[in-house]
Amino acid sequence: MTDPTSAIKPEVSQLVELQIQAFRQDSSLTTSELLQYRMRAEKIRILYQELIELEEAVSSSHCAEHPSATPGRL
């Protein structure tokens, strides 16, 4: 089975790398660059939330398929 998060992770990595590059600039960010930075930050936040939701769904699905693996069950 393919990891459902595999499509999101490369996009997050790319956005984070662009954020790092923005911090490494010698000069201050222009208004346009600052807007792009903020838009990337919001996109990263949204993608991380999607990753969390996908991982929780996979975890819940796994527990439903294998009830004996559920913590606290005998």
Q: Quick one: CA torsion of 32, 19, 22, 30, rounded to 10 degrees?
A: 10
Domain extent listing, the chain: 9-60
Name the band, by pLDDT with cuts 50, 70 and 90, for residue 55: confident
Q: What is the pLDDT of residue 73?
A: 47
Q: Report the alpha-carbon distance of residue 27 to residue 11 in Å, rounded.
A: 26
Q: Between 60 and 29, whose confidence is greater?
A: 29
Share of the chain above pLDDT 70, in %: 82
